[in-house]
Amino acid sequence: MSSPLDPNVQPAPTEPAIDITVAGARTTALAGSTAAELFASDRSIVVARINGELRDLATVLNAGDDVEPVTIDSPDGLAVLRHSAAHVLAQAVQEINPKAKLGIGPPITDGFYYDFDVETPFTPEDLAALDKAMAKIIKQGQTFRRREVSDEDALAELADEPYKIELIGLKSNASDAGEGAGVEVGDGGLSIYENVLRDGTVVWQDLCRGPHLPSTRLIGNGVKLMRSAAAYWRGSEKNPQLQRVYGTAWPTKDELRAYLDRLAEAERRDHRRLGTELDLFSFPDEIGSGLAVFHPKGGIIRMEMEEYSRRRHVEADYSFVNSPHITKAKLFETSKHLDWYADGMYPPMKLDEERDSEGNIRKAAQDYYLKPMNCPMHNLIFSSRGRSYRELPLRLFEFGTVYRYEKSGVVHGLTRARGFTQDDAHIYTTREQMKDELSSLLSFVLDLLRDYGLEDFYLELSTRDPEKSVGDDETWHEATETLREVATESGLHLVDDPGGAAFYGPKISVQAKDAIGRTWQLSTIQLDFFEPELFELEYAAADGTRQRPVMIHRALFGSIERFFAILVEHYAGAFPTWLAPVQVRAIPVAEAFEDYLNEFVSTLRLQGVRAELDTSHDRFPKKIRTASKEKIPFVVIAGGEDADAGAVSFRFRDGSQRNGIPLAEAAELILTSIRDRSQV
C-alpha cells in the first residue's frame, strides 16, 4: 500500500480518502489510517499531537484532524518515554511481588516515579532486581494497548487495587486528587493500558490516561532506577505512607550516561558539602531547621556580594531603606497576605497584653508576625508623606531578612531555607513610565547577574491563576501584556508559566543556566496594580489630581542565601578572585623567607586584598595541598632565587605555575584580577 502522505499517488477509487493537516500542511490520507501509518518512515516519532492533544500512534485519524509529529527527544516525547518506563517499573514490581498495590506513576523532570503499597521498604538489592526485570520486559517488545472502559468496568477490573479505586472516585476532580493523579484520571472517560505480548497475550494492565510508546522496546537501554523513599499517598500526610521508586529514562544509553555524569558532578558541587569543606556556613541544630549561620569565610563572600550590589544600586538611583523583622497582623491583613499566604508564614506571637494588679486584662494582646516579605512595609514608607509625580519612579531597596515556614521535607540547605535575606526593591511609577522602567530594570538585572559570572538566560512569564488572585481581568491583561512586550523586546527566549503568578500580579522570572547546564530561577520582576489600591497609595499628578502609582516588585538575587548557594555550585567552590574569601596565600619555601613574603602580603593588604601568610608548622608540600583544597586563587611562593631577584612565583588553581615575577608586577596581576572581576 502506498504511503498515505505520498503526494504523487492518489487513493484508489475504492479506498476513500480524508483531508487532514500534518505539521501545518494540508494533505490526504486513507480512511482508517492511524498516526503510526502516517509516520511509519520516521522511527523517532513515538506519539502524535492530534487536535492539540497527545495521543498514541495507534489512534485512528478522522477527517479534519490537525496532526503534529512528536519525536522521542522532544519534551513531550521524553515525558511519554518516562511515563512508559514508569508503567514497566510497576509491571516489574508486581511480577516480583504480586501482593504490591499500585499508586501513581507520573513522569517528572529527568525521570519518573511510581508509588507502591508494599510490606517492607525497597532495598538497593530490590532496585537492582527490578532493573533486570524491567530490561527483560523492554526487550520483549510488549505493545502498549489502550482500552476505554466505563466507571463500572474499571471498578470491577481493578477491584484488587484500592488506590486505583479511590482515583476513579476522584476523576471529576483530578486537580484536587494530589500530585501525579492527572496521569491516571481526569475529566471524561477512563482508559486502561494493557501490555500485550506478540502472541496477543495480555500480561499486565494499569489505569492510565496515556499516551504511551507503541512498544516497550522503544524505551531502550537508557533507563535506570535511582532510589526509593517513603511518600504519602496523594501527597498528604493524612494518607497512608507508600514506598516510592524513582528512575530516570533517556532515548539512548549515551544520554543516560551523560545524565549520570551530570548528577555526579552536581554531587561534587553540592553547596551543602562544599559549605562544610570550605568552612562557609552551617545549620546548627540549636538554632533550628532551615536557619543558617555564615562563618567568617562565608561572611566575606556574602559581604562582597552585597557590597557590589549596593554600589550598582546607588549608581542606578535607588534609595536604601530598612524595615523591622516583625509587624502587627493588621499590616498583612491590609496587604491580603494573611488571606493568600498564611500557610507559608510562621504562627503569630501574642504580644502587648496588659493586665491590672488583679490580673484582669486591661488591653488585649495583638498578633505579631515574622515578616515573610518586605513589600507591605515599603508601601508604608511610600505613604509616610505626600508624594509628587516629580519623585517617580521612586526606587526603594532593602536587604531585608524574611521568614517563611517551609515544611521540613522541603527545606534544602541554602536553596530552600526558612530565614533568608532578599535583595528586595519596590519601584513606584506612573502608568506612563512603567514600561520604560520595566525595560531598564530587566537590563539592570541581567547586567548585574553577568557580573557575578552567569551568562546563559531565558525568561518565564507567570500569568494569573483565577482561583488565587485579586483584581479585575482588564487590569491583569494590561499588566501581563506589558510584561510580555518587555520580555519579548529583550531578545531572550520567553516561555509561559500559566497560573504561576502571585495573587497580586504577573511576573517575569529570569532563568539562568549554571556551569553544568542546570537551570535556576533567579530574579523576579512583578507588576502590581492592586497593592497600591489596597494601601490607598497616591501621588500628586502634574494636573493636580491624585493618582495611584503602579508598583513593581523586584528581587534580583531572589535571596542572598539562595544566590550564594548557586554561586558555590556554579564555581564548585573555586570563586573568582574578587569573591574568594582568601584571595592570596603566601607560602615560603622555608621559614627563612617568611619576613620577605610578609612584607609583600602587608603591601597587598593595604590595597584591600585578602592576603595571608602561611606560618604553620606544616611541610611546604602540605601547605601547597592545603591551599589547593581551599581553592585559593593565588598561591604566592618565594625561595632564595625569588628573594634575591625581588620576585615571587605563582601557583594557580589549575596546577600551572609562573616563576620569577617581580613584586610590583605580581601585585598588579592580583589587583587587576580583583578589579576586573575576572571569572578565573
- Specify whether 241 is catalytic: no
> How distant, in Å, are the alpha carbons of 272, 298, 557 from that of 565?
8, 11, 11
Is residue 537 situated within a structural domain? yes
Catalytic residue among 404, 623, 631, 651: 404
∠ CA 463-465-469, rounded to 5°? 105
What distance in Å separates the CA atoms of residue 563 and residue 556, rounded to the nearest whole number? 9
Q: Are residues 635 and 560 in the same domain?
A: no
Dump pLDDT digits (tens) for 561-602: 999 999 999 999 999 999 999 999 999 999 999 999 999 999
Q: Are residues 559 and 632 in the same domain?
A: no
- Specify whether 422 is catalytic: yes
Among the listed residues 471, 473, 467, the one whose alpha carbon sits nearest the alpha carbon of residue 529: 471
Domain boundary among 226, 248, 265: 265
Q: Are residues 171 and 39 in the same domain?
A: no
What distance in Å separates the CA atoms of residue 203 and residue 169, rounded to the nearest whole number? 26
- Specify whether 146 is catalytic: no
- Specify whether 507 is catalytic: yes
- Specify whether 553 is catalytic: yes
Q: Are residues 511 and 553 in the same domain?
A: yes
Q: Is 537 helix (H, G, I), strand (E, B) or coil?
A: coil
For residue 497, the cross-strand partners are 462
pLDDT of residue 470: 79
pLDDT of residue 176: 56
pLDDT of residue 421: 95
CATH number of the domain within which 60 lies: 3.10.20.30
Q: Are residues 67 and 173 in the same domain?
A: no
Grid cell, residue 523, equals 530574579
Q: Are residues 385 and 397 in the same domain?
A: yes
Average pLDDT for residues 378-392, to the nearest whole number?
96
Q: Is the pLDDT of residue 473 over 90?
A: no
Q: Are residues 594 and 504 in the same domain?
A: no
Is 426 known to sit in a ligand binding site? yes
More reliable by pLDDT, 2 or 240: 240
Is residue 518 situated within a structural domain? yes
Is residue 432 situated within a structural domain? yes
CATH number of the domain within which 534 lies: 3.30.930.10
More reliable by pLDDT, 384 or 472: 384
Average pLDDT value for the chain: 92
634-638/584-588 β-pairing:
parallel
Q: Are residues 221 and 81 in the same domain?
A: yes
Residue 54: domain span: 17-71
| Residue 150: partners with Cβ closer than 8 Å, 6 or more residues away | 189, 190
539-540/546-547 β-pairing:
antiparallel
Is residue 12 situated within a structural domain? no
Is residue 362 situated within a structural domain? no
Q: Is the pLDDT of residue 24 over 60?
A: yes
What distance in Å separates the CA atoms of residue 526 and residue 507, rounded to the nearest whole number? 4
Domain boundary among 569, 586, 620: 569
Q: Are residues 297 and 233 in the same domain?
A: no
Dump pLDDT digits (tens) for 77-105: 999 999 999 999 999 999 999 999 999 99
Grid cell, residue 298, equals 562565608
Q: Are residues 158 and 303 in the same domain?
A: no
Q: Is the pLDDT of residue 368 over 70?
A: yes
pLDDT of residue 179: 58
Is 375 known to sit in a ligand binding site? yes
| Residue 466: partners with Cβ closer than 8 Å, 6 or more residues away | none
Q: Are residues 592 and 664 in the same domain?
A: yes
Counting residues of the chain whose pLDDT is more than 90, the rounded percentage is 82
The pLDDT confidence band at residue 173, using thresholds 50, 70 and 90, is low
Average pLDDT for residues 367-379, to the nearest whole number?
94
pLDDT of residue 175: 52
Q: Is the pLDDT of residue 409 over 90?
A: no
CB-based burial label for 142 (10 Å; 0-12, 13-18, 19+): buried
Dump pLDDT digits (tens) for 319-337: 999 999 999 999 999 998 8
Domain boundary among 544, 569, 594: 569
Is 83 known to sit in a ligand binding site? no
Average pLDDT for residues 411-427, to the nearest whole number?
94
- Is the pTM value of this prediction over 0.75? yes
Counting residues of the chain whose pLDDT is more than 70, the rounded percentage is 95
Dump pLDDT digits (tens) for 507-562: 999 999 999 989 999 999 999 999 999 999 999 999 999 999 999 999 999 899 99
Per-residue DSSP letters for 376-434? HHHHHHHTTS--BGGGPSEEEEEEEEEE----TTT-BTTTB-SEEEEEEEEEEE-TTTH
- Specify whether 375 is catalytic: yes
Is there a contact between 111 and 246 (Cβ–Cβ < 8 Å)?
yes
Q: Number of folded domains in the chain?
A: 4
Is residue 360 situated within a structural domain? no
Q: Are residues 98 and 237 in the same domain?
A: yes
- Specify whether 313 is catalytic: no
Catalytic residue among 65, 115, 206, 424: 424
Which of 178-187, 275-284, 461-470 has the least mean pLDDT? 178-187
pLDDT of residue 14: 55
